[in-house]
């Protein structure tokens, strides 16, 4: 369970136009993703400008964190950090 939590990263400061395909496309360069989600407002269905990604291994998650800051869809995203929540 602990290693699954270490594989899950929070990604903040996303562009409102970034969708799951853009987020996945950027982070797959660092390893295999088992989960990728951009959080949306349930009433408007618009992006909340953050999301979560889960890598298949801790090594891949560490590789992505070491490459910070990221620019997802051309927008600087300084936050790629462990989610700190349940996996």
- pLDDT tens per residue across span 1-24: 557 778 999 999 999 999 999 999
Say if domain 2-81 classifies as CATH 3.30.70.330.
yes
Predicted model pTM: 0.86
Is beta strand 8-11 parallel, antiparallel or unpaired with respect to 33-40?
unpaired
Delimit the domains of the chain by residue range: 2-81
pLDDT at 77 over 90: no
- Lay out the sheet containing 8-11: strands in order across: 33-40, 47-55, 8-11, 80-82
Residue keyed to tokens 């269905």: 45
Please choose, from the candidates 79, 15, 16, 17, the residue with its C-alpha nearest in 3D space to the C-alpha of residue 52: 79
Joined together, the tokens standing for residue 12 give 């903040």
């Amino acid at each position: 369970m602990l290693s699954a939590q270490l594989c899950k990263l929070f990604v903040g400061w996303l562009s409102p136009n970034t969708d799951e395909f853009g987020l996945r496309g950027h982070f797959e360069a660092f390893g295999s993703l088992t989960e990728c989600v951009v959080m949306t407002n349930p009433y408007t269905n618009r992006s909340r400008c953050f999301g979560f990604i889960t890598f298949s291994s801790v090594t891949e998650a560490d590789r992505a964190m070491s490459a910070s800051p990221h620019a997802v869809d051309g927008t600087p995203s300084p936050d790629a950090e462990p989610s700190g929540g349940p996996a």
